[in-house]
Amino acid sequence: MEYPIPVISVKGLCDVEISLDQVTVSNKRRRLDTLEYSFEKFEGVPFECFRIESYLGEDYFNAQTSMEELWTKMEKSQETSLGFSFLFGFDTDADALYQFAKLLRREGLFY
């Protein structure tokens, strides 16, 4: 059984996935650029980090892991790029998502 959800693709930047209870903004970043990256500009926005090339493996970061675990997993990884999903409530204002997409572009995240 499949439950397709609406996905808005913003070419070169992100996918916006709209589910029943949340909006997810997905994209990626080069792993080597991310090793030295501070996620402070995304403070307050829950996110997950996952493998792209071997996406069936364990997530690098989610609500159950620490930032230290993320750094360790990124350092050991052989992935070229890492996937990121930023999680928003379903009631998030459209302008807030637009401003967040602009932040993603400034910070070097892409799709």
Region 2-7: mean pLDDT is: 80
Work out the average pLDDT over 32-37.
Answer: 92
Instruction: Name the average pLDDT for the chain.
Output: 90
Report the DSSP pairing between strands 22-30 and 47-51.
unpaired
pLDDT exceeds cutoff 90 at 89: yes
Locate the DSSP E strands across 1-111. 7-10, 14-18, 22-30, 47-51, 81-89
Is the pLDDT at 58 greater than 90? The verdict is: no
Look at residue 53 in the predicted model and tell me its pLDDT: 85
Structure tokens of 41? 């500009």
List b or e across 69-93, with b for residues whose CB sees 16 or more CB atoms inside 10 angstroms.
Answer: ebeebbeebebebbbbbbbbeeeee
Q: Quick check: 87 pLDDT over 70?
A: yes
- C-alpha pair distances (Å), 31 with each of 15, 50, 63: 19, 11, 20
The strand pairing partners of 91, in sequence order, are none
The secondary structure element, H or E, covering residue 92 is none
Q: What percent of the chain has pLDDT over 70?
A: 95
Please state the rounded mean pLDDT for residues 74-79: 92
pLDDT digits (tens, 9 = 90+) for 6-32: 999 999 999 999 998 899 999 999 999
What pLDDT is stored for residue 13 in this prediction?
Answer: 93
pTM above 0.85, yes or no: yes
